[in-house]
Amino acid sequence: MEENKIKGSKILLVEDEETMAIGLEYNLTDEGYVVEWAKNGRDALNFYDKGRYDLIILDIMLPYFSGFEIAKEIRSRSPKVPILFLTARTSSEDRVRGLELGADDYITKPFDLREFLLRVRRMLLRGRWYSDVSKDSPKAKIGDCVVDFDNLTVKSKSRSITLTSREAVLLRYFLENSGRVISRGELLENVWHLSSEVETRTVDIFVSRLRKYFEPDPDSPIYFKSIRGEGYLFDKR
Amino acid sequence: MLKKKRSLWLLTTAFIFAQFAWLGLLGLWIYWYVSNYIIFEQVGTKLSPQIVINSPDVLIFSGGIVLIVAIAVVMSFIFRYFIVQMKMTNLYDNFIANVTHELKSPLASIQLYLETLISKNVDETRRKEFIALMLKDSNRLKKLIDTILEVSRLERKVISHHYNIYNAGAILPAVARNSMEHFRMPENSFTIECTAVSECVLDNAAMQIVFDNLTDNAIKYSPDNLQIKISIYEKSDKIFIEFSDKGIGISGKDLNRIFSRFERLSNPNNPSVRGTGLGLYLTREIIKSHGGKITVKSEGENKGTSFMIEIPVYKDQSGSYLNTLLKRSSKNEIRDDKDGRE
């Protein structure tokens, strides 16, 4: 049932390695998605300008513009479109940089095909799910910040921030589970739709991003509290 | 990267501070020595008739200056050494990152196709296409590994080339054409002209690597207008191979760096170029081992690049470098034969 919703989703594949791109395109098309392939950073931005995509799959080492630059550019234009980095760069610095620039997921090459397709499916489903739930309760208040889930903005007296769709989903999960300790594994399973054994660093990076947006002092959080050995506790106050 | 920049900054600051300290100390020392000498000369005998200063102790004074200057010079050498080391470490780090990427990309692609073939019902046409793509990637892996091993052997000087005497007019165009076919160059995208007729001493396989590297280079750096021109001619006991393309060219400041090990030039007009920074280094080393040399010229960016290779014409003279190569090569062949039999 859920699968039918995402059939025909449009994916922008940005990959300069021809052999890799052909294989990915085949597999994604076989899953029922519509794939457009950009061979370099310049083409990727041109494609993005002209089309609407449900997911962007980005390599990092690309001609003309790196994947990081493209992610930054796309995020400045649209906070909602999910971005997945698919790269041979495995260092934690690259991973953190990619996620901090607003990517929703980061997979390193070589990768397991089934896991890759699963992550793609989950990202597309989450995009749908997000647009459904945001209709029900489009606004929330945390401290002096007002979150508008419709246009993904956070407004306070002093500033206005745009959330990415993954940040919005994570925030919504915290709001719905306020006052309860949530483990990293639970967040991975329910927000990222991944096995809780995959890794926990990604969750921490996203929570630190939310702290930057909402906490008066991100080093001493009052809303997104860490519970040692357990996970996180969201205290709406 | 940030750490390296910071440590370079600290090192430079420490070096400048140390130089100021040495010079300051030297100045203070001279000032102290001269002023004390004047005081002693003026009042020393009045205060204590036993103190007699006939002349300053020039030996100790000048010896001290020499020692301080020597320390400053040694520090400069150490500083220079550190800077070179840091540059090498930086290049090496880039090399490791590039090699890792170059290894992982084809490997990931092969794994992707294998998993696809196992898990999906792929039709026959596509299956053949996927197998061809896997072969392409495995060749890429092989070439990368061969280059790294070849460079390693060259550096340990354990390389065993197999030199033979060839007619330059026959062998060089054939090797050049092999490269064009290997890279599937369209017929109208290259020209090979040869007027050389003399004999030369070559390792056929090594010369193939040279032509392959130059062709690969021309393809990588000619994103819009791929045209290769190879001219082979002889002049003054030398055979010249001019390998030109109409690609993005090289700026004057980068020309000297192009053959350095691990060096990779970045060009904003063509940033897609991948590689390890070993290809042209290996090319130069192979040409050197043939008793020749390779130079590069470019009129500037977007004006093409031209590599000029010179190798000596073979003349049967005992004791000449080429004869030594041939002798060494025949010994290698005997040894290889023995190894093969064993």
Whether the CB of A22 is below 8 Å from some CB of chain B: the reply is yes
Q: In which band, very low, low, confident or very high, does the pLDDT at B56 lie, cut at 50, 70 and 90?
A: low
Q: In which band, very low, low, confident or very high, does the pLDDT at A2 lie, cut at 50, 70 and 90?
A: low
In percent, the amount of chain B with pLDDT more than 90 equals 32
Select, from the ranges A55-59, B22-26, B90-94, the one with the highest average predicted confidence (pLDDT). Answer: A55-59
**At residue B216, does pLDDT exceed 50?**
yes
CATH number at residue A114: 3.40.50.2300
Report pLDDT for A123: 85
DSSP B158-194: -----EEEEEHHHHHHHHHHHHHHHTT--GGGEEEEE
Calculate the average pLDDT of chain B.
82
**At residue B238, does pLDDT exceed 90?**
yes
Q: Pairing mode, if any, of strands A145-148 and A181-182?
A: unpaired
| Separation CA B239–CA A48 (nearest Å) | 53
Report pLDDT for B341: 47
| Separation CA B213–CA B183 (nearest Å) | 11
Whether the CB of A109 is below 8 Å from some CB of chain B: the reply is yes
Q: Do A114 and B130 touch (CB under 8 A)?
A: no
Report pLDDT for B79: 85
Residue B126, H or E segment: helix B124-155
Query: Nearest residue on chain B to A87, judged by CA atoms?
Result: B105
Whether the CB of A201 is below 8 Å from some CB of chain B: the reply is no
Q: Which residues of A touch B274 (CB under 8 A)?
A: 61
Whether the CB of A23 is below 8 Å from some CB of chain B: the reply is yes
Q: Which residues of B touch A94 (CB under 8 A)?
A: none
Task: Name the CATH topology of B101-155.
Answer: Helix Hairpins (1.10.287)
Q: Do B101 and A26 touch (CB under 8 A)?
A: no
Q: What number is the average pLDDT over the span B167-193?
A: 92
CA dihedral sign, ordered B87, A62, B298, B188:
positive
Tokens of B319: 């004791």
Report pLDDT for A30: 95
| B233 strand-pairing partners | B240
* CB of A54 closer than 8 Å to CB of A127: yes
Q: What's the pTM value of the predicted model, to 2 decimals?
A: 0.66
Task: Name the CATH topology of B164-329.
Answer: Heat Shock Protein 90 (3.30.565)
Tokens of A156: 């306070």
Task: Say if residue A117 is in the same domain as residue A141.
Answer: no
Structural domain for A181, as ranges: 137-234
Domain locations along chain B: 2-92, 101-155, 164-329
Q: In which band, very low, low, confident or very high, does the pLDDT at B284 lie, cut at 50, 70 and 90?
A: very high
Select, from the ranges A76-85, A193-202, B6-15, B257-266, the one with the highest average predicted confidence (pLDDT). Answer: A76-85
Tokens of A63: 């001609």
Q: Do B272 and A19 touch (CB under 8 A)?
A: no
Q: In which band, very low, low, confident or very high, does the pLDDT at B331 lie, cut at 50, 70 and 90?
A: low
CATH number at residue A155: 1.10.10.10
Whether the CB of B105 is below 8 Å from some CB of chain A: the reply is yes
| Separation CA A88–CA B105 (nearest Å) | 7
Tell me the pLDDT tens digit for each residue of A87-127: 988 888 888 888 888 788 889 999 999 999 998 998 888 77
Provide the number of structural domains found in chain A.
2
Whether the CB of B111 is below 8 Å from some CB of chain A: the reply is yes
Whether the CB of B271 is below 8 Å from some CB of chain A: the reply is yes
**Between B251 and B195, the higher pLDDT residue:** B195
Helix B168-182 and helix B204-220, axial crossing angle in degrees, nearest 10: 50
Task: Say if residue A166 is in the same domain as residue A94.
Answer: no
Residue partners of A15: CB distance under 8 A and separation at least 6? A21, A24, A37, A38, A39, A57, A59, A86
Test the B interface: residue of A16, A18, A20 with most B CBs within 10 Å? A20
Tell me the pLDDT tens digit for each residue of B106-130: 999 999 999 999 999 999 999 999 9
For chain B, the C-alpha Rg in angstroms (whole number) is: 31
Q: Which of these three, A91, A110, A131, is where a domain ends?
A: A131
If you search the block for the tokens 């690049």, which residue do you land on?
A: B305
Residue partners of B185: CB distance under 8 A and separation at least 6? B215, B219, B226, B228
Q: Which of A89, A169, A163, A164 is nearest to A122 (CA)?
A: A169
Task: Say if residue A186 is in the same domain as residue A126.
Answer: no
Task: Say if residue A123 is in the same domain as residue A145.
Answer: no
Report pLDDT for B66: 83
Q: What number is the average pLDDT over the span B98-112?
A: 89
For chain A, the C-alpha Rg in angstroms (whole number) is: 18
DSSP 8-state assignment for residue A31: T
Task: Say if residue A37 is in the same domain as residue A153.
Answer: no
Question: Which region among A159-163, B71-75, B159-163 has the lowest average model confidence (pLDDT)?
Answer: B159-163
Task: Say if residue A85 is in the same domain as residue A64.
Answer: yes
Task: Say if residue A144 is in the same domain as residue A170.
Answer: yes
3-state secondary structure string across A117-154: HHHHHHHHHHHHHHHHHHHHCCEEEECCEEEECCCCEE
| Separation CA A144–CA A141 (nearest Å) | 7
Instruction: Using CB atoms, pick whichever of B104, B270, B272 lies closest to residue A110.
Output: B104
| Separation CA B185–CA A230 (nearest Å) | 61
Residue partners of B92: CB distance under 8 A and separation at least 6? B262
Q: Which of these three, A68, A98, A131, is where a domain ends?
A: A131
Q: Which residues of B touch A27 (CB under 8 A)?
A: 112, 116, 120
Q: Which of these three, A96, A131, A166, is where a domain ends?
A: A131
Task: Say if residue A19 is in the same domain as residue A125.
Answer: yes
* CB of B322 closer than 8 Å to CB of B201: yes
Say yes or no: ipTM exceeds 0.85. Answer: no
Q: Do B112 and A63 touch (CB under 8 A)?
A: no
Q: Do B120 and A110 touch (CB under 8 A)?
A: no
